Structure 1
Amino acid sequence: MPTDANIAFERLVSHEFDQASLDDVKVVALGIWYQDFTPDFNHLPQTSLQARLRAGYLVDRLLRYNCVTDERKKLLFANVSKLRSLLKPPVSTNPQVEPLAKSWGLEHDLKRLAKDLLEYQTRHYQYEYTSAL
C-alpha cells in the first residue's frame, strides 16, 4: 500500500519542478527527514528519463539539510549515487537553475520552495512531529 510520501514523490517527479506544490515537497521532505521514507527509484518508469533525473535531484537536494542523520545520508546518498551513475545525466546549461539541478541535467529546480521548508528543519519541530506519530 503506497504511503502519502510515495504518492507525493511520484507526483513530484512526474512533472517539471516549476509545477511542484509545496504540500508534496513537504510530505516527501518530512518523510525523508523524520520517517525513514526511502524513495524507490526502481518503481519509476524506466521509459521516463526526466522522471528519474528529477527523482535523483529531489532526494539529493533534501539530503543536504542538516536534519538528516549521518546514517540516513550515507544510505540515501548511496542510492542517489547509483542512480546518477546509471543515468549519466547531461549537465544543464540553463543559467536560472541551481548548480545541483544543473548537474542532474534539469531545466527546473526547487529553490523557490526551499525557504518554505525552513520551519520544518528545527529540533523543536522534529520533536513535535515525531512525538505526534
Structure 2
Amino acid sequence: MIPAVKMLNELAEYGLNCVDREHIIFIAKSVWYYDLIPDLGQIAGPFRNDVGYLIDCLARFNVLPKQRKLDLITAVEPYKPNSPAEDSACHDPRARAWNASCDIMPFMGDILPFQTRHYASGWGW
C-alpha cells in the first residue's frame, strides 16, 4: 500500500484530531507534488469525511494547476454529505459542510512552508 494511502486510512480510522502532524505534511506533499488523487470509495472508517475535507482543502491551494484542483475536487465531491453538520464546533464552513471532526487550521503552520514556489521548484514545477 502506498504510504499516503495508508495514512489516509489511519486518518479515516482515528480522525484529523488524532493524526500525527507529519502524516498531514506527507499527505499534503503527496497531493501537491506526487499526483495523489485518493479514491474515497476505497477508504473506510468513522472519520472518512475528515479525509474528504482534507483533500478538498488541499486542492484549493494555489500551488496546484487549475486542472489538478478540479480533478481532486471532482474525485472527493461525490462523498460529501448531503447536509452540513448543524452542531459542529468547527469554524471552517468547509469542515462543517463535510461534517469533519475538526478543521485544518491547527495544521496550517505545518503545511504552508511546502506550498511555496521555492519548495515546488525542486520538484520540476
Residue of structure 2 equivalent to 1:94: 88
**Which consecutive unaligned segments of at least 5 residues does structure 1 have?**
none
- Rounded to whole Å, the distance in 2 between the matches of 1:107 and 1:77 is 20
Residue of structure 2 equivalent to 1:6: 5
- Rounded to whole Å, the distance in 1 between the matches of 2:86 and 2:20 is 23
> How high is the TM-score relative to the length of structure 1?
0.82
Give the secondary structure class of the aligned counterpart of 1:67: coil
Q: Could you tell me the percent identity over the aligned residues? A: 26
What count of residue pairs does the alignment treat as equivalent?
124
1:64 CA drift (Å): 1.5
CA RMSD of aligned residues (A): 1.7
> How high is the TM-score relative to the length of structure 2?
0.87
Residue of structure 2 equivalent to 1:124: 118
Residue of structure 2 equivalent to 1:23: 22
Residue of structure 2 equivalent to 1:52: 48
1:22-49 CA-partner distances (Å, limit 9, x unpaired): 110011100110110111112122xx4x
Q: Relative to 1, partners in 2 of residues 1:80 and 1:12: Cα closer, same or farther, differing over 3 Å?
A: same
Structure with more relative contact order (C-alpha pairs < 8 Å, separation 6 or more): 2
**Which consecutive unaligned segments of at least 5 residues does structure 2 have?**
none
The code of the aligned residue for 2:88 comes to N
Residue of structure 2 equivalent to 1:80: 76
- Rounded to whole Å, the distance in 2 between the matches of 1:96 and 1:70 is 27
